[in-house]
Structures are given as C-alpha cells and as structure tokens.
C-alpha cells in the first residue's frame, strides 16, 4: 500500500484504527504486519473473464480469455448473521473506497457459488460495476 504523505512513519500507520470492538480501538498493527519498504510479491492472482459457472459470460475491457491482475478478498459470516446483509454491506464499503484507496474503474465480481441468493436460487447477482 502506498500512502505518500497520509502517514509519515511506519509507527503512525501501525497505530491507524481499523475497527472498534467492545468500545476499544483495533489498530492496524493488531491485525497486520506493518513494515516500510517494498517486497517482491510471492504470489500473483489473475482474473480470466469467460463463461462462468452459471453459463453467463463475464464482460472485460481486454476481452474474454485475457488474464488481468486481480486481488482476492474473502469475507466470512459469523453464525447467526444474515449473509445477504453481510454481502451487501461488504460491497457498499468496497464501493466507498473507490477513488480514495481503490481505482475508480475497479471491477468487482462475486463468485456465483459464494452468493447465498444468487441466480441459481432465483435471486439477483451481487455485482458492482
């Protein structure tokens, strides 16, 4: 993550509050390793648009079957939580980061097998443009 002058030191970044649990702040250093510098990636993730599990083609700027660099984000619900509300809120928060921490032209795709009320169950696809 490159933040330019938003955080001036590694220590400032480590003390950034990322959540509040039971009235207490959760700092970035509590959930991640913070270090100054660039590392070579150990793994790469690519997205190759094409015919999905539900038989519908995925649109792409570069065309079908062309690999694009990607980021995978996994969200899991706790027992008793509403999966539909969780996925809606997760997408809302990701969209709110566009133009701030994420590129404006970010394409978000939710895997059809991971949607609770996806097309196979008669629901609507949870996808953000």
pLDDT higher than 60, residue 68: yes
Examine residue 119 and state whether it is found in any structural domain, yes or no: no
User: Per the structure block, which two tokens stand in for 37?
Assistant: 């510098």
- Pinpoint the alpha helices (H) of the chain: 10-14, 28-31, 83-96
pLDDT digits (tens, 9 = 90+) for 99-123: 888 888 877 777 665 555 444 333 3
26 backbone dihedrals φ, ψ, rounded to 5°: -110, 120
What pLDDT is recorded for position 121? 39
Q: Sort residue 125 into left (φ over 0), alpha (ψ -120 to 50) or beta.
A: beta
- Report d(CA 125, CA 51) in Å as an integer: 15
Note the pLDDT of residue 107: 79
Q: What is the pLDDT of residue 26?
A: 95
28, part of any domain: yes
Tell whether 99 is covered by a domain: no
Separation of alpha carbons 102 and 110, rounded Å: 17
pLDDT at 129: 43
- pLDDT score of 58: 53
In the chain, pLDDT over 70 holds for what percent of residues? 69
Token pair 């990636």 is at which residue?
41
75 in a structural domain: no
Asked whether residue 105 is assigned to any structural domain, the reply reads no
Tell me which of 34 and 4 has the higher pLDDT.
Answer: 34
Provide the domain limits for residue 6. Answer: 1-39
């Amino acid at each position: 993550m490159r933040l330019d002058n938003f955080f001036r030191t590694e220590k400032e970044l480590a003390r950034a509050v990322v959540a509040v649990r039971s009235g207490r702040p959760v700092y970035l250093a509590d959930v991640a390793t913070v270090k100054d510098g660039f590392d070579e990636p150990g793994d790469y993730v690519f997205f190759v648009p094409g015919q999905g599990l539900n038989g519908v083609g995925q649109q792409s700027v570069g065309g079908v079957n062309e690999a694009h660099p990607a980021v995978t984000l996994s969200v899991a619900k706790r027992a008793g939580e509403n999966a539909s509300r969780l996925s809606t809120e997760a997408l809302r928060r990701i969209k709110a980061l566009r133009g701030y921490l994420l590129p404006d032209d970010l394409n978000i795709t939710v895997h059809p097998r991971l949607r609770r009320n996806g097309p196979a169950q008669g629901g609507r696809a949870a996808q953000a443009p």
